[in-house]
């Protein structure tokens, strides 16, 4: 339970700040004394936080399924010949900057959440795939032989032996991917997606540093909170592993 105390405190701080940003108005007014309006109020910060999290969560779920499935396929005997191809396809997402992906996706998908969702999925594939490959390839072959000797089928070996042992490495890849995409999702505000990048973009357009700081503060705190949650998950996974 100790591992979950820091994430719980950070989650409480993040939610509290999203709801109670008005309490910091004196600080923002001191920072930007020349502006009549120093608190971003076009949308509530709680709404922007929820939408930002939803975009990251959906892209992470899709990317994780695709990357883990690709990693499993490439480490089976039938798919080893496709390993270089799988790695190259996943690398495409990080070869192109997210802004370039948005520029290509907007004419097809229009403005809003869809283009940034595509960009986040592509941008987040590589860390998860690499860690999936590293985790599965790093398992001692004797473990697989022992599992087969117990009468397990190939699917049972994968589910009951390989994935639990590689789980923490895969989880570390998901952690990296999600943390990166929390910051990347903010650029979705440039194409009409409702994210925590809204106050940042509004602040840059209106030369309002207070707006920029409000958005950046919440994005940074969200990234820190998410990273802390994944760290707790990794520790919990590691503690439970010997009992499997």
Express the helix, strand and coil content of the chain in percent, nearest 5 each. Answer: 85, 0, 15
Six token digits for residue 9:
């405190």
Question: Where are the chain's structural domains?
Answer: 57-243
Cβ neighbours of residue 92 under 8 Å, at least 6 residues apart?
122
Contact 45, 28 (CB under 8 A): no
**Cα(14)–Cα(225) distance, integer angstroms:** 8
Q: For residue 241, what pLDDT is reported?
A: 64
Residue 220's pLDDT band (boundaries 50, 70, 90)? very high
Contact 64, 128 (CB under 8 A): yes
Architecture of the domain delimited by 57-243: Orthogonal Bundle (1.10)
Average pLDDT over residues 135-141: 88
For 42, phi then psi, to 5°, come to: -70, -35
- Predicted confidence (pLDDT) at residue 204 exceeds the cutoff of 80: yes
Q: For residue 93, what pLDDT is reported?
A: 65
In whole numbers, what is the pLDDT of the chain averaged over residues? 88
């Amino acid at each position: 339970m100790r591992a979950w105390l820091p994430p719980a405190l950070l989650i409480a701080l993040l939610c509290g700040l999203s709801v109670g940003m008005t309490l910091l108005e004196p600080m923002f007014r001191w920072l930007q004394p020349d502006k009549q309006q120093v608190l971003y109020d076009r949308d509530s910060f709680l709404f922007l936080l929820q939408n930002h999290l939803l975009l990251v969560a959906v892209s992470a779920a899709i990317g994780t399924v695709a990357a883990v499935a690709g990693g499993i396929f490439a480490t089976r005997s039938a798919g080893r010949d496709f390993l270089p191809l799988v790695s190259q396809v996943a690398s495409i997402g990080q070869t192109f900057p997210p802004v370039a992906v948005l520029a290509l996706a907007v004419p097809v998908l229009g403005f809003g959440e869809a283009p940034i969702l595509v960009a986040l999925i592509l941008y987040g594939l590589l860390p998860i795939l690499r860690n999936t490959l590293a985790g599965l390839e790093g398992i001692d072959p004797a473990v697989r032989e022992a599992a087969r000797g117990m009468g397990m089928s190939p699917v049972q070996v994968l589910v009951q032996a390989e994935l639990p042992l590689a789980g923490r490495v895969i989880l570390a890849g998901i952690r990296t991917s999600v943390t990166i995409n929390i910051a990347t999702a903010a650029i979705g505000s440039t194409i009409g997606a409702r994210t925590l990048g809204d106050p940042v973009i509004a602040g840059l357009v209106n030369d309002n540093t207070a707006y920029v700081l409000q958005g950046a503060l919440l994005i940074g705190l969200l990234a820190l909170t998410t990273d802390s949650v994944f760290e707790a998950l990794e520790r919990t996974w590691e503690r439970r592993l010997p009992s499997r």
